Amino acid sequence: MKKRLHLGIGHYGIGFQDGVNMVISRNVKALLKICPDLKITLFGKLAKDYREFITPKPASLEYREIKEFDPQEAVKQFGGKPISEQQVHDYMWQGTNIAETLIEKLSDMDVVIAENLGIGIHPAVTYAFYLYTQYSFAARENKKFIYRFHDFVQQRPENFRNVKKFHYSRFGIVPDWHSILYPAFPNIKYIVINRYDWWRLIEHGIEEKNIYYIPHSVDESIIPPDNRSEELRKKIIEREKLSPSVKFIFYPVRCVRRKNVEEAIFLTKFFNSLSKVKLPNSPRLKEKFHLIVSVKPKEGEDARYAQKLIEFVKRYNLPATIGIEELVSWERKYDPQDKNKIIKYGIGDAYRIAELVITTSILEGFGFVYIEPWILERAVIGRNIPAITPDFQAAGMKLGHLYTALLVEGRDFKDIGKEKKDPDEALEERLSRILKLDDPAYVERFIESNETSILATLKLFDEKRRKKLVQRNKEVVKRVYSQEVIGKKIYEVITA
């Protein structure tokens, strides 16, 4: 009898509301549809409500707690010393202990997918996998490891500084950071989610035959099954005290610095200023728009950034709301005692109540926002990321209306304040430009500097004009990025 395949999928935290966990959830569902007999174990620091992570829970799905995967555990172990202040021997001591835990807890797994180890958020865990993969190969365990890269540590300077503490010492006991991030043992394969990262791994010495380009999938089950999305719209209007006729622009992200949310606020206020301006070859915008940013971080630097924006929005009565996570999650959640009562609406409901979806992000690993809204027939406007969007365009999507630079006073908005050493001072510089939109002359100068991209964007505010584009991009997304298509590609890698 053929042995039942046991797949382990590990991440720093399992069951939390973030992008990597959303990908894990979708991949688990897709893999179990392809092979119902596949045993899957998710491991890492488990969220308090991890049992609700994938519901209904498949019989072949298990969870294993490894609390040391949580970066905060590393801080606790050293009396509150931040990871950035710890030394390489601290990382190695923790990593060696974690590697021993991996040997024990992952012993029965045939294939192990490690999610986003290359981001450097917890150097001790990255080092632990370096030790474990090396041990497993030397012990001839016949275990396969797959590193899936969502981001690269070089894109996160603070994390990169931590990882670079690994360098060859005169005693030869400290491995180089490069070999820890990109180990080349024969039992390791790599998955990247965009072609740009595929080339990056080759530059880092990984052989082409060991790299697989597999993008993330969209989940059509997020499409609401009824017309109750309007209930969510009414709840937001009531909570934020908005006009019943308001139009929402949805930005489906956690409010963190790299998402450049202040630019989305700038654009929303600009759109509202156009009710008094008529541009050639474009409709006059009579409606008032309100920006909705889905998730407000709860702790750390991200929370501080979001709070600064929230205070600024409140002080100047700007058309934006940051944080609707108490109303919206990935999927709808119903009251167990009353199956008709919605406790939380799904992300699909949030898309459906939006007039348009926006992105002003300057850094993405994959870029869900560029593909997911189209399956709910919502057009995406905003900033282009040249390292990300070519993959979608190569698949057949039309994204030529996105801008690569938004010129404000002769500089790209994202670069305003860049010369400031303090990121908060740089943020203040950008926020000050939002207030200048009260001046009609300033608005006119902004339009003159960005006329082509503004006209391309405003065409999508006309439902009739955007209909053809929406249908084309929707068809491409469903054909290329469905769970079935992407799930088969992942299954082929784990069973190769």
Task: Indicate the DSSP class of residue 63.
Answer: E
Beta strands in 380-484 (DSSP E): 380-382, 407-408, 411-412
Please name the residues in contact with 250: beta carbons below 8 A apart, sequence gap of 6 or more.
292, 294, 350, 351, 353, 354, 356, 357, 358, 373, 378
Give the per-residue pLDDT at 365: 85
State the Cα torsion 363-365-369-370 to the nearest 10°. Answer: 90
Q: What pLDDT, on a 0 to 100 scale, did the predictor assign at position 390?
A: 95
Under 8 Å between Cβ of 98 and 134: no
DSSP 8-state assignment for residue 383? B
User: Could you tell me the pTM of the whole model?
Assistant: 0.89
pLDDT of residue 284: 67
36: tokens are 């119902």
**Beta-bridge partner residues of 115:** 148
Token pair recorded at residue 440 = 């009609």
Please tell me the predicted confidence (pLDDT) of residue 278: 65
Name the residue among 286, 264, 263 with its Cα closest to residue 274: 286
H-helix or E-strand containing 11? strand 6-14
CATH for 220-480 is 3.40.50.2000
Alpha carbon separation from 185 to 35, 115, 122 (Å, rounded): 28, 18, 21
Q: Is 207 helix (H, G, I), strand (E, B) or coil?
A: coil
- Topology of domain 6-217+483-495 in CATH is Rossmann fold (3.40.50)
Closest CA to 12 of 56, 40, 45: 45
Strand order of the β-sheet with 338-346 is 328-329, 338-346, 333-335
Distance CA 121, CA 44 (A): 14
- Residues 378-384: contacts with CB within 8 Å, 24+ apart? 378/250, 378/351, 378/352, 378/354, 378/470, 379/460, 379/466, 379/469, 379/470, 379/473, 380/356, 381/356, 381/357, 381/457, 381/460, 382/264, 382/267, 382/358, 383/260, 383/263, 383/359, 383/414
Measured over the CA atoms of residue 388, residue 393, residue 399 and residue 403, the dihedral's sign is positive
Would the CATH topology of 6-217+483-495 be identical to that of 220-480?
yes
Q: Which pair of tokens denotes residue 142? A: 């016949």
Q: Which residues touch 266 (CB under 8 Å, ≥6 apart)?
A: 408, 413, 430, 433, 434, 437
Rounded Cα distance, 227 and 231, in Å: 9
Domain boundaries, the chain: 6-217+483-495, 220-480
CA distance 22 to 1: 34
Mean pLDDT by 10 residues, the chain (496 residues): 87 90 93 94 95 87 96 89 92 95 96 92 95 94 94 86 83 84 94 92 94 95 94 97 96 95 98 78 76 92 95 97 94 90 96 98 92 97 95 96 97 95 94 95 92 93 93 97 96 94
